[in-house]
A = this chain, B = another copy of it.
Amino acid sequence: MNIQNLSREQLNERLSVLTDKYNEYKSLGLKLDMSRGKPGADQLEISNDLLDPALLGNYKASNGFDVRNYGILDGIPECKNLFAEIFDVPADNVIVFGNASLTIMYDYVAQCMIFGAGAEPWAAQKGIKFLCPVPGYDRHFAILEQFGIEMINIPTNENGPDMDMIDELIKDEKVKGIICVPMYSNPAGITYSNETVRRFAALKPAAKDFRVIWDNAYCVHHVTDTHDTLLNIFAAAKEYGNEDLFIEVTSTSKISFPGAGVSALAASDANIKAIKSRMTVQTIGYDKINMLRHANYFKNLDGIKAHMLKHAEILKPKFNAVLDAFDKNLKGKGIASWTNPNGGYFISLDVSEGCAKRTVELCKEAGVTLTGAGATFPYGKDPEDKNIRIAPTFPSRDELCKAVEILCLCVEISAIEKILG
């Protein structure tokens, strides 16, 4: 039953039925939150053994350094090695930071603003711009907006952003960079194709101080049994002598504990040197006790992969609950399309044009909090007002099923309201 084909009378009838159902839900006084990519309570339990002090042994890192004391700017060796394996780069090209890759990115952009990226400080160059594949991560956009960097939307399909558009736009030397999630992207869950990664690697920006912030937040975060793979950007960039263009970050926030994990950066020799020259003034070193905990608990990439299977086991039924409800309630109605990702933390839902804000509002009134409509676009402005980020991880499966049921109702109600005008 494609909604688009119904008569006004049929639509009014349908709206009346849906509104009754909606009001029923509303009267329940529900409080369901699908707004943020937060792991659920059961996922937190998986990593509790990480807090066992036995993991810290005699508090010595592999280089003999006491992790309880000051020192070691770029991270203890075993933790650098762990991230080197994750990034697939030499440990010398890794720096281990505190609990948040968001802070690494923020501080890196701040560094470029104040000190530049090998040229004049970005802050001194008026009117600089960044390219933002959309839909994207609202916290990325918030960083750029805070620093007054103009953001340009780059449409994305299942292979990644529109590379022709990017190639064209980077001829402008005011365009200083791109910020993106190349694997299990936030919110679409797509992974950039090999062809896309190679085109990133081959970029020829006019700006000499151009940087791609390659936020590989979900590099080991598979949900289904089919695992996406992402080409190593540094290996690809090497062929073009372009290693200096890329700043890659990740963290264990969604591997161990959100907010109490360890984050890391991979970059070229020159960028590592520049970043360390800033860091050595900003800190004596990040929390090495937490680094040792993580390194000794996970041991290596295989240890992390095994751990991620436990997360997947919890996440798979949640993702399926959303996808099943979409299939059951929205499919074939001509009012929505959605992604079906193999990993990450989100499903991207596109509703009818001009209906995202209204859908989110209807949900809110019925007690279901979604990520704000528009959040997946720079400045919070979705030009077509149709994208909604679905974060299925935080609620329990029961809550989630109820929430999605309500969401589907709201998608349809807003679509019909829109047609009826």
Contacts and interface: CB of A to CB of B under 8 A. Distances in A.
A56 interface: yes
B70 A44 contact: no
Contacts of A289: 51, 257, 259-260
Interface in A61-98: 66-71, 98
A288 interface: yes
A150 interface: no
Interface string A33-73: 00010110100100110011100100100000011111100
A259 B107 contact: no
Interface string A344-366: 00000000000000000000000
A142 interface: yes
A297 interface: no
B283 A103 contact: yes
Contacts of A107: 107, 282
A69 B39 contact: yes
A18 interface: no
Interface residues of A, number: 51
A285 interface: yes
A186 interface: no
A244 interface: no
Contacts of A147: 114
A113 interface: yes
Which one of A67, A100, A139, A259 has the highest number of Cβ atoms from chain B below 10 Å of its Cβ? A259
A68 B99 contact: no
A326 interface: no
Given A36-B70, A56-B51, A98-B98, A143 B44 contact: no
A281 interface: yes
A252 interface: no
A290 interface: yes
A169 B67 CA distance: 43
A259 B288 CA distance: 7
Nearest to A288: B259
A52 B284 CA distance: 25
B102 A283 contact: yes
A25 interface: no
Contact of A53 (B51, B99, B260): B51
A372 interface: no
Contacts of A53: 48, 51-53
A68 B259 contact: yes
Contacts of A36: 70
Interface in A258-305: 258-260, 278, 281-290
A325 interface: no
Contacts of A70: 36, 38, 253, 258-259
A123 interface: yes
Contacts of A56: 51
Contact of A259 (B143, B259, B287): B287
B99 A38 contact: no
A38 B103 contact: no
Nearest to A292: B260
A401 interface: no
12 contacts: A53-B53, A69-B259, A98-B98, A103-B283, A106-B281, A110-B110, A110-B114, A113-B114, A114-B147, A143-B281, A259-B285, A290-B290
